[in-house]
Amino acid sequence: MIILGYELTGLEFFASIFSLASVILASMNKVWNWPVGIIGQILFFFLFMNNHLYGNMALQIFFTFVAIYGWYYWKRENHKKIKTMRIKKSIIFNISLSG
């Protein structure tokens, strides 16, 4: 299939869709972001395997283990709210790190 002039395989298309869905679910603070993301990572693993991109395959394995840990930790902590930082504090914090 061709999207915006770029030829995609079905595997690449579905891996991208699952990964995008995972990011959207994470932004909505939904626990389903973990299993959806893991599916995307597995699909990308096979895509990279088919194209002999072994370093990227290894990254997908690492990302999958981190996602499993994140999913476990999320469930264990009973889904606590994420704290946010105001923009002024964020700028000061970033300046102090870089200076």
| pLDDT tens sequence across 14-66 | 999 999 999 999 888 888 999 999 999 999 999 999 999 999 999 999 999 99
Lowest pLDDT segment from 10-19, 56-65, 67-76, 82-91:
82-91
**Structural domains counted in the chain:** 1
Residue 2 or residue 43, greater confidence? 43
Task: Please state the pTM of the whole predicted model.
Answer: 0.72
The token duo for 84 is 């946010």
Which contiguous run of DSSP H or E holds residue 65?
helix 54-76
The token duo for 13 is 């298309």
Closest CA to 33 of 42, 21, 45, 44: 21
pLDDT of residue 99 exceeding 60, the answer is no
In which domain, by residue range, is 40 found?
Answer: 2-98
Strand 6-7, strand 2-3: pairing? antiparallel
d(Cα 41, Cα 18) in Å, to the nearest integer? 8
> Using an 8 Å Cβ cutoff, are 51 and 9 in contact?
no
d(Cα 54, Cα 33) in Å, to the nearest integer? 25
